Copies of this chain bind each other. A is one copy, B any other.
Amino acid sequence: MRVVVPFDAANPNSRLSSVLSADQRRGFAAAMLADVLSAVRDAGGEPTVLAAAPVDGVDAPVAVDDRPLSVAVNAALGDLPTAVVMADLALATPAAVGGLFDADGDVVLAPGLAGGTNAVVARHSEFRVDYHGASFRDHVAAAESVGASVATVDSFRLAVDVDEPSDLVDVFVHGDGAAADWLRDAGFELAVRDGDPVVEPNA
């Protein structure tokens, strides 16, 4: 399946800025992207990275489109079916991505935490994405408005888009790819503070 992977190379994962510097965030985002591309390929997908500006060092074709995210994704849907998988799904596995590809529906949606949509399969030519706000609910409505059937994939590994410091805990606990390696190599470790796990620079 064709898979579009939108990637913010310039200022990725800004909510991690309390933990990671801008340079670190770019390095970590590239590692997460590598994990996503690997999971997509192992699930039988053919990924293209969609970026607002040229990016180097990405192990996939890169399409450049500097328009807003939803506009650029809709322009990239092209021949259907096409999947859209976010670049910060550091926990994605081939099985989870395969479950997305295999689900029946004109539109298949994988929820992201806090109302978002982390992955889509579009098989209906009139369906359009809109990532603003509570996008999951809006995508269900958008599909229904064009008469497209909707299926939902129930996956923790697709639901966690890594954009908050607490998400780094899950990269440590559940990740076994480039993103987890990046965190360890950058000197972070898993600790427990007041009973809660946190990721912090090692002492």
| A157-203 with Cβ < 8 A to chain B | 157-160, 166-167, 169-170, 172-174, 190, 192, 195-197
B-binding segment of A78-86, A107-115, A142-150: A107-115
Contact between chains at B133 and A170 (CB < 8 Å): no
Contact between chains at A197 and B114 (CB < 8 Å): yes
Q: Is A154 an interface residue (CB 8 A)?
A: yes
Report copies per complex: 2
Contact between chains at B156 and A190 (CB < 8 Å): no
Contacting residues, chain B, for A196 (C-beta < 8 A):
114, 133
Contacting residues, chain B, for A197 (C-beta < 8 A):
114-115, 133-134
Q: Taking CB as reference atom, which chain B residue is nearest A133?
A: B192
A interface bracket (residues with beta carbon within 8 Å of B): 20 to 34
Q: Taking CB as reference atom, which chain B residue is nearest A165?
A: B114
Contact between chains at B114 and A170 (CB < 8 Å): yes
Contact between chains at A195 and B132 (CB < 8 Å): yes
Q: Is A51 an interface residue (CB 8 A)?
A: no
A166 vs B160: C-alpha distance when bound (angstroms):
13
Q: Is A137 an interface residue (CB 8 A)?
A: yes
Q: Is A60 an interface residue (CB 8 A)?
A: no
Q: Which of B93, B110, B167, B173 contacts A136 (CB 8 A)?
A: B173
